[in-house]
């Protein structure tokens, strides 16, 4: 395996995914079907139904709370910590979205952020999901103010002070620059100048593109487990959903790994 492929494995989303093929929704009543996928999970219909019911119950309670909330800030803080306490338990990289609904409530930055995005969507709250080199996070907008939702920080993941939000977002990008620069210096980064040195990704993605990043993560998980052909299947779907440059690059090299024999 060449050095670029090693770098590709390192360039993943940490706690810090051709037209899509093989897509099959396991959930049709809500937008959970964007993330609970037949490609990831072999779930019985009754399991999916129970996930839908648990999700709907929390959303309905939050809608009731919204109707009596005294301020946007207090309500959004309530949303963040209630959802985290009830639905997000153990952090683990590359887990599938359905793990949120199981006993350990496992999640990562992609699936945790996806959960918040889905719920804010249900609540009619404006938001943006930010994709960076090694992390995904969400900012919400209400009453002319901005609120940070950092799914991987259970204690201090909600912020509303503009200076603090700006500093935390800048830190994420500075970490991307630092890691990318180190990888370039050690020969593990791409040979393309546009992806070397003091550069970083900070894209705003919609729900569908976030689902693409979920496939991207699952492709990297399979690749790290040396399941190269399965990784290629996942990355092709990711590319169909969200054809970003790094997903296209990953697709090319996973193809080489999968069919090098």
Q: Is residue 128 part of a domain?
A: yes
- Per-residue model confidence as pLDDT tens digits over 225-261: 999 999 999 999 999 999 999 999 999 889 887 887 5
Quote the CA–CA distance of 112 and 136 in Å, as a whole number. Answer: 9
- Over residues 62-85, mean pLDDT: 97
- Over residues 19-40, mean pLDDT: 68
Q: Is residue 185 part of a domain?
A: no
Q: Is residue 173 part of a domain?
A: no
Q: Domain total for the chain?
A: 1
Q: Which domain holds residue 59?
A: 3-163+203-256
Q: Is residue 168 part of a domain?
A: no
- Per-residue model confidence as pLDDT tens digits over 114-128: 999 999 999 999 999
Q: Is residue 224 part of a domain?
A: yes
Q: Is residue 135 part of a domain?
A: yes
Is the distance from CB of 200 to CB of 177 less than 8 angstroms?
yes
- Per-residue model confidence as pLDDT tens digits over 57-66: 999 999 999 9
- Tokens 């909330």, located at residue: 69
Quote the CA–CA distance of 149 and 156 in Å, as a whole number. Answer: 9
Q: Where are the beta strands (DSSP E) in the chain?
A: 126-132, 136-142, 145-149, 158-159, 202-205
Q: Is residue 31 part of a domain?
A: yes
DSSP structure string for 200-250: --EEEE-HHHHHHHHHHHHHHHHHHTT-HHHHHHHHHHHHHH---HHHHHH
Instruction: Return the structure tokens found at 12.
Output: 């993943």
Higher-scoring residue by pLDDT: 19, 83: 83
């Amino acid at each position: 395996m060449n050095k670029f492929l090693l770098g590709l494995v390192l360039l993943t989303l940490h706690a810090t995914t051709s037209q899509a093929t093989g897509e099959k929704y396991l959930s049709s009543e809500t937008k959970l079907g964007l993330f609970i996928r037949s490609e990831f999970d072999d779930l019985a219909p009754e399991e999916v139904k129970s996930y839908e019911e648990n999700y709907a119950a929390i959303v309905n309670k939050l809608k009731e709370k919204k109707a009596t909330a005294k301020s946007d800030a207090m309500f959004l803080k309530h949303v963040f910590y209630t959802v985290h306490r009830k639905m997000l338990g153990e952090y683990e990289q590359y887990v599938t979205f359905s793990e949120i609904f199981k006993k350990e409530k496992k999640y990562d930055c992609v699936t945790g952020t996806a959960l918040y995005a889905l719920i804010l969507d249900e609540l009619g709250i404006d938001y943006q999901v930010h994709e960076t080199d090694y992390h995904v996070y969400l900012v919400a907008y209400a009453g002319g103010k901005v609120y940070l939702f950092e799914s991987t920080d259970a204690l201090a993941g909600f912020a509303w002070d503009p200076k603090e939000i700006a500093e935390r977002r800048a830190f994420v990008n500075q970490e991307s620059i630092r890691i990318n620069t180190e990888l370039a210096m050690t020969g593990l980064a791409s040979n393309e100048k546009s992806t070397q040195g003091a550069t970083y990704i900070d894209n705003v993605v919609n729900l569908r593109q976030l689902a693409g990043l979920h496939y991207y993560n699952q492709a990297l998980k399979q690749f790290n487990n040396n399941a190269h052909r399965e990784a290629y299947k996942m990355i092709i779907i990711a590319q169909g959903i969200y054809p970003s440059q790094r997903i296209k690059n990953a697709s090319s090299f996973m193809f080489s790994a999968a069919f090098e024999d």
